Structure 1
Amino acid sequence: MKKIYVLDTNVLLQDPYSIFSFQDNEVVIPAIVLEEVDSKKRYMDEIGRNARQFSKLIDNLRGKGKLHEGVHIEPGGKVRVELNHKSFQRLKDWFADMTNDNRIIAVALNLMLEEQEKNEGRKVILVSKDALVRVKADALGLTAEDYLSDRVVELDHVYPGYVEVYVEAEVMQSFYANGGLAISELTKHPFYPHQFIIMKDALGSSSSALGKVEPDGKMVKPFVCDIDQVWGIRSRNVQQRMALELLLRDDIHLVTMIGKAGTGKTLLSLAAGLMQTEDMGKYKKLVVARPVVPLGKDIGYLPGEKDEKLRPWMQPIYDNLEYLFNTKKPGELDHILAGMGSIQVEALTYIRGRSIPDQFIIIDEAQNLTKHEVKTILTRVGERSKIVLMGDPQQIDHPYLDEYNNGLTYVVEKFKDQTASGHVKLVKGERSGLAQLAADLL
């Protein structure tokens, strides 16, 4: 039986095309939702862009008929702007304040009660990204769901970039003796390009081997860049060694890394970028950027020129650079960077419209980027450039993103079968024992 889905404002602001995700069912948009979307159109961020996009979309649907009566859309569903069923009478005994959230719940509740009076009434479902709206709806006996169509992966299925395979000792010996193995000798399951394979002895000995799948997915070979130390930074675990292989390979133009705080993502990327830019001359410039998204309440306007305003936001990058350059005195790092001229630290605010060739690009805290923003960044990459996206999907400060629909996870899943990209998930914290304990327990 077909259903009626009542959409909350946050669903449309997260995905303006969400109305097409409910198959052949009816999608109801309360009038108050249109007012809330209209109030966001002037925002100069992703929320404002989605509000404007939905406004254009719903205006185009107006050409198919009267929206308050409902218009048909693909794939066989129907969209209707609900002007009735807005009575607050049945709700005021439990939720007295006529807030926008309560008005949306009232529309869904009144629709449900009306459908229950029919012989073959349809089920009414309220769809909202707001957990408390779903809780309120459930308390009233109204079915409520989260909007999950924008998720690129399900729970605990984020691609890690490597796999463990148990083999006989003779297989590992053949791997080293012949400089590689055919995938068919290890398993019948297919592998992604540049996926790492950790071979362990099936009999339980400490013997192991580490290889990377070739771009064609038919062979696994030892690492090409047999380096475990760059700019004084040595890899401390197998995942960090994998990360260095990806960061130093010329044939891999996109590297994605995810991991908890303290796993070494930023430090390894900066060290690899500095070595290839300053020592090897592969790139003309090292560009380091991160989104300007505050952890808590924003501190307001900052004084000074652009560089002075950006300094607090970019301080985590400067902390790592101070460690790499082993600076001791205040201002010493600024003097070094000014003398080199090939290192550029900036916010992502100014990246639109740019073309960035011959550069090593590092995007930190990429989990706070939306799908649209990460697409904008990747389409700025020019010829002979390499870009590194990294972050912790479990530490998101963006109000409409979560671990499974953010831009970083989106890129990991969409590019995992592409030969131009590589990915690894860092699992062991190396910052300090306390930092690792906090990342695990908190």
Structure 2
Amino acid sequence: MVRKTTKSDTPAKRTPKNSKKIFVLDTSVILYDHNSIVNFDEHDVAIPITVLEELDEFKKGSDTKNFEARQFIRFIDKKAGEKDLQDWISLNGGKKGKFKVIMNPEPGEVDANKVFGGKKNDHLIINAALLLAKTEKTKQVILVTKDINLRLKAKALGLVAEDYETGKVKDLDSLYSGKSQIEDFNQDSIDKLYKEHSVSIDEIKKANKDFTPNSNHFYILKGSKSSTLACYNPFNETLDQLEKKSYCGIKPKNAEQTFALHAIANPDIKLVTLSGVAGTGKTLLALAGALDQRRDFKQIYLARPIVPLSNRDIGYLPGDMKAKVDPYMQPLWDNLKFIKNQYKEADKEYKQIDDMVASEKLLVTPLAYIRGRSLSNVIFIVDEAQNLTPHEVKTIITRAGENAKFIFTGDIHQIDTPYLDEQSNGLSYLIDKIKGNKLFAHVTLEKGERSELANLANELL
């Protein structure tokens, strides 16, 4: 029979909140951010030996998680030098705390293996943290993990457990949308936009004293008699009127799609993010806008991360590598087919798209296939970017060479990758960190245009 946990079994609860802390890191945190060990300020960090054993399983491979594992192992090895890893080792002189590796202890009064049944690595990590909390009575011991279930188990046994907060968007409700609707905008300003299509921001602000523009921000401006769509151009310091234009046969169906296509087609904007639920047209708009600029770039990449179903590696699937990845790429081919079908087979545009695919000027590929490449003179579209970590997004963008444009699309509420959520995924992180930069534009697409049935599902199910 499992014994009920008592307050005396949970020394972490008795520690003053303002005391120096010890953070126990789970494997999920390290695979998310190999620099996590140095992100706890003056506090100490403990690494269960079980975590090192799990990292050993991840060190081989070309995925980001393999890179994170290798980098962390190298960091620990370099910092330790000739020192004993079971002793506290300084992370960065007096500026940071210390770290050490904690071994698997003999089960104490509370044994996670007995409580939850079965000898699992998660239970060994909990037991190690429990013993540390019992022996380090002057410090608060906190288990840090991105595994929700592990946090719940730890809390059930009296441990303080937290998510890893670095890189998370603090307030999802205030995440930058890239667009605003302004009522009672000066009608004379709107009339001038219709007449001249571009008006200096100083003149706009004189007539609209509360108007504060942001770089590449989009506006629905409503006056007393008419309304218009506009965007602030930070390069010319003007408010530019926008018109609905077709790109490769795709015409925007609402203001948001007009904004998105303008951002994609604007040569001064080098980084674009589009977020929205299924059916809002994110991928289709990105591809149509990119194809319309095919003469300005050497190549167009359309990529997405492969997230295997049921957490099984794609190696389990039948066929060669192409056969394994094709099902994951099919949504991208579907969007390309939709654009082709805007033309007749005899049209030159139809043949041009086929020729681009055949010559690999348009390349549909898994994201992992482009790692390590320098990307110059290309448009690079990353679909399903919400399934990337912040580090993966940074790694992709740092591959940008001359005349490169990057477009990230995704639905931040539909996460298929373990240990990521709406606040910690790479797309949310990118939108939050880069907003306001003149090289960047973002649009949150809210109105579904796929079908009435799709909209019904998004709204009610």
- Normalising by the smaller structure, the TM-score range is 0.7 to 0.9
Instruction: Tell me the distance in 1 between the aligned counterparts of 2:46 and 2:211.
Output: 44
Match of 1:127 in 2: 144
Relative to 1, partners in 2 of residues 1:286 and 1:76: Cα closer, same or farther, differing over 3 Å?
Answer: closer
Q: 1:58 aligns with which of 50, 64, 76?
A: 76
Match of 1:221 in 2: 240
Cα displacement (A) at 1:189: 7.2
Cα displacement (A) at 1:288: 1.8
Cα displacement (A) at 1:406: 2.3
Match of 2:16 in 1: none
Relative to 1, partners in 2 of residues 1:339 and 1:10: Cα closer, same or farther, differing over 3 Å?
Answer: closer
Gaps of 5+ in 1: none
Please state if 1:21 is matched with 2:39: yes
Relative to 1, partners in 2 of residues 1:153 and 1:200: Cα closer, same or farther, differing over 3 Å?
Answer: farther
Match of 2:13 in 1: none
Instruction: Tell me the distance in 1 between the aligned counterparts of 2:156 and 2:41.
Output: 27
- Cα shift readout 1:125-147 (whole Å, capped 9, x = no counterpart): 22111111111122222211111
Cα displacement (A) at 1:96: 3.7
Match of 2:302 in 1: 288
Match of 2:129 in 1: 108
Please state if 1:406 is matched with 2:421: no
Specify the code of the residue in structure 2 equivalent to 1:365: E
Match of 2:217 in 1: 195
Match of 2:26 in 1: 8
Instruction: Tell me the distance in 2 between the aligned counterparts of 1:137 and 1:88.
Output: 15
- Cα shift readout 1:24-77 (whole Å, capped 9, x = no counterpart): 122222222222222221243222111111111111221384331201224331
Match of 2:317 in 1: 301
Counterpart contact for 2:32–2:389, Cα < 8 Å: no
Instruction: Tell me the distance in 2 between the aligned counterparts of 1:217 and 1:140.
Output: 60
**Range with bigger deviation, 425-434 or 160-169:** 160-169
Counterpart contact for 2:33–2:391, Cα < 8 Å: no
Q: What secondary structure does 1:111 align onto?
A: helix
Match of 1:156 in 2: 173
Cα displacement (A) at 1:239: 0.7
Please state if 1:378 is matched with 2:397: yes
Q: Map 1:314-393 onto structure 2 (within 5 A).
A: 314-326=329-341, 337-340=353-356, 341=359, 342-393=361-412
Specify the code of the residue in structure 2 equivalent to 1:80: K
Percent identity of equivalent pairs: 42
Relative to 1, partners in 2 of residues 1:310 and 1:32: Cα closer, same or farther, differing over 3 Å?
Answer: closer
Relative to 1, partners in 2 of residues 1:14 and 1:245: Cα closer, same or farther, differing over 3 Å?
Answer: same
Relative to 1, partners in 2 of residues 1:34 and 1:88: Cα closer, same or farther, differing over 3 Å?
Answer: farther
Q: What secondary structure does 1:417 align onto?
A: coil
The TM-score with structure 2 as length reference comes to: 0.83
Counterpart contact for 2:215–2:234, Cα < 8 Å: yes
Relative to 1, partners in 2 of residues 1:284 and 1:416: Cα closer, same or farther, differing over 3 Å?
Answer: same
Instruction: Tell me the distance in 2 between the aligned counterparts of 1:54 and 1:359.
Output: 33
Cα displacement (A) at 1:295: 4.4
- Cα shift readout 1:358-378 (whole Å, capped 9, x = no counterpart): 333322112222333333332
Please state if 1:249 is matched with 2:271: no
Cα displacement (A) at 1:317: 1.5
Counterpart contact for 1:231–1:275, Cα < 8 Å: yes
Instruction: Tell me the distance in 1 between the aligned counterparts of 2:188 and 2:226.
Output: 11
Please state if 1:263 is matched with 2:277: no
Instruction: Tell me the distance in 2 between the aligned counterparts of 1:304 and 1:85.
Output: 45
Counterpart contact for 2:91–2:99, Cα < 8 Å: yes
Match of 1:99 in 2: 120
- Cα shift readout 1:248-288 (whole Å, capped 9, x = no counterpart): 212222221111111011111222222222xxx32343332
Instruction: Tell me the distance in 1 between the aligned counterparts of 2:43 and 2:375.
Output: 45
Q: What secondary structure does 1:173 align onto?
A: helix
